[in-house]
Structure 1
Amino acid sequence: MKKPSHWADMGEWSLIWGMRFLLRVYLLLGRRVLQWFLYPVVSYYWLVNKSGRAASQAYLQRVAKLSPASDLSENLRDSYRHFISFANAIIDKLAAWSGALSLADVDYQGRDVLLAQIKTGQGAILLGSHLGNLDVCRTIADLDGAPRINVLVHTKHAEKFNQLLRQTNENSGLNLIQVTEISAATSMLLSDKIDNGELIIITADRTPVSQNSRVSRAEFLGDDAWFPQGPFILASLLKCPVYTLFCLKQQGRQVIYFEHFSDGLTFPRKNREQAMQQTIQRYAQRLEHYCLMEPLQWFNFFDFWHLADKESDEH
């Protein structure tokens, strides 16, 4: 039986040429025309991407079991809705990049807590995810006097994306940093940014690209899944406050949720693995909470639980 692919091997929509083309269509012709163009493409992707479709159905099955009120199931109709939600998120991403999404379009929950932290002069780490649309944070980065926001990404095209962002807004305070492994040099760079009062966003819901990277198992949507240790190790090295960050689209508006997660993560050598697992489990619980709020906005179209399932089969 063919082994499931790692998410990094599956390719993503975020290819530079594709996003540049879509951005031009959006700027020239607007959202409505882009929807007519994008929906057939995503529909075709849903039809031919058997593994992605199966992963979507498996995810929705878990959601339906935990939240009957969601009125979702693993049927093909809801899986298709899941993919169309992804298409709309791409358009919202382009709106954020182009400046069409303004502060008036965004609501906040928990922002005062983060603003109080920023006023101390020390930055913070924000644990994001592939739930909703992190690009909405660009509206914050473009505020006068706002802290610079650095987003750690796995894509090798980070600098090209930065160029594309600067083409749409040369004064953007959003900076993408390509990271596959956290080296000593990376830690020093990020430590300087924290000391300068900047924010660092890192997603914590995908296993690392490196095959030798460390992971911990946590219960998520009723089943065990692997989560990366890297974001949490990084936070402990930087010795800074940690918040969770979720950007959801609700009733036609973008809502950004900030939650205080820790004043500073520490993992004592004596019970390091246990402390790490407990911390990651707390994050998984918050991710689950927000997933159940807007389940069609979690965009991980691969078998998120397959590693845990495989280990279970071996014992």
Structure 2
Amino acid sequence: MSGEASTAEGTAARGRDSAEPASPRAATHGSSASWAAEPERSNAWALRIMCWIALRCGRRIARGVLYLIALYFVLFAPKARRASARYLGRVFGRPARWRELYAHVFCFAATILDRVYFLREGGAGIRIDVHGHEHVQVCLDAGHGAFLTGAHIGSFEALRAAGRGDPQLNIAMVMYPDNARLINNALAAIAPHIKPDIIALGRPDSMLAIRDRLAVNGLIGLLADRAMPGESARANPVRLPFLGQEAVFSDGPFRLAALLRQRMVFMVGLYTGGAHYEVRFMPLADFTRRAATAQEREQRIHAAIADYVALLESLCREMPYNWFNFHDFWREDGA
């Protein structure tokens, strides 16, 4: 249930001056990301059946089946249930109730189901309200592209559906492609005519591909709420307060934006229930002006990370069931 994951290209750290101060509260090498090691819990047969029901029986009947699927995961996915309980406990300031755990899992399942309709039927009557598009337009008008930075909150497919028909909003996602491969392959089989625009992490030409896309006023999308395993040698995982307890975030996305002197816009596609999504774009950071000193650059990077985490916390409190990190996010299950 970990979902597709992405984070910034760690090789951006090669642009740092070796004399720069380290990021605040740098995490140790031993605190490697746990999400990438989680086994994919999806089942190919079950996914195909679900997709068949979605397309043959319609959204109302398919959502009825989701109630059973969500119940199954709440009962038989103890790691995901424990991660959900910890997260919701921090959001609500008390132990999560069973119905809240169920609502959390059901929200995740609903967004996965709606991906079928976004991919095959253009949304099937699902309403998407867009707020803050002007912040993206400012970047495009400047002619230098931008980083659209998100998290594992809500639905990226809703973001893509909101930009359908506008060639300027074609987003190339920087992704860690191996996690949740089963879900991505199954959905690719549903809509073979759609070729996702992905720049894979960990390849020698990843940085060049990002730079080339920005050079033609392109948009680079990345999800910055998960640190990559082994990333600490190239970027700085940092600990910041998040929902009342320190969590590990990577400065890689922000360091990359600073290196390439780009604006960063926060993006999110929130599922608000029923057949409604709300897409939001919010300004996050502007690295187009070259920093006078290495210290100034580090201060601006750290300020951008802090703003990003504050935005995440605000969204989690506003729409708590949209947070889809069903793994040991706070790294409480041991070293």
Match of 2:34 in 1: 6
Report Cα offsets for 1:173-224 as digits up to 9, x if no partner: 8513332x3x662111111111112211100111213364531111111111
1:89 aligned to which of 83, 106, 111: 111
Partner AA of 2:205 in structure 1: A
Match of 1:68 in 2: none
Q: Contact (CA 8 Å) 1:148, 1:174: kept in 2 or not?
A: no
Q: 5+ unaligned residues in a row in structure 2: which ranges? A: 1-30
Q: Is the alpha carbon distance of 1:24 and 1:230 closer, same or farther for their aligned partners in structure 2, counting shifts above 3 Å? A: farther
Partner AA of 2:174 in structure 1: L
Shifted more, 243-252 versus 103-112: the winner is 103-112
Report Cα offsets for 1:243-298 as digits up to 9, x if no partner: 00111122542111101112217775347665543321211000111111100110
1:156 aligned to which of 165, 168, 178: 178
Shifted more, 9-18 versus 140-149: the winner is 9-18
1:284 aligned to which of 309, 313, 316: 309
Deviation at 1:18? Answer: 6.2
> How far apart, CA to CA, are the structure 2 residues paired with 1:167 and 1:14?
16
With a CA cutoff of 8 Å and minimum separation of 6, indicate the structure with the bigger relative contact order. Answer: 2
Q: Contact (CA 8 Å) 1:149, 1:174: kept in 2 or not?
A: no
The alignment status of 1:255 with 2:278, answered yes or no, reads: yes
The alignment status of 1:29 with 2:52, answered yes or no, reads: no
Report 1:169-188 matches (<5 A). Answer: 170=193, 172=194, 174-179=196-201, 181=202, 185-188=205-208
> How far apart, CA to CA, are the structure 2 residues paired with 1:200 and 1:184?
18
State the TM-score, normalized to the length of structure 1: 0.81
> How far apart, CA to CA, are the structure 1 residues paired with 2:101 and 2:190?
35
Shifted more, 20-29 versus 246-255: the winner is 20-29
Report 1:228-239 matches (<5 A). Answer: 228-239=250-261
Deviation at 1:121? Answer: 2.7
State the TM-score, normalized to the length of structure 2: 0.77
> How far apart, CA to CA, are the structure 1 residues paired with 2:95 and 2:59?
29
Q: Contact (CA 8 Å) 1:206, 1:227: kept in 2 or not?
A: yes
Deviation at 1:40? Answer: 2.1
> How far apart, CA to CA, are the structure 2 residues paired with 1:238 and 1:228?
17
Q: Contact (CA 8 Å) 1:142, 1:173: kept in 2 or not?
A: no
Q: Is the alpha carbon distance of 1:277 and 1:310 closer, same or farther for their aligned partners in structure 2, counting shifts above 3 Å? A: farther
Report 1:54-73 matches (<5 A). Answer: 54-65=82-93, 73=95
Aligned residues with identical type, % of pairs: 28
Q: Is the alpha carbon distance of 1:164 and 1:196 closer, same or farther for their aligned partners in structure 2, counting shifts above 3 Å? A: farther
Aligned pairs, number: 299
> How far apart, CA to CA, are the structure 1 residues paired with 2:140 and 2:124?
22
> How far apart, CA to CA, are the structure 2 residues paired with 1:138 and 1:305?
29
Deviation at 1:165? Answer: 4.7
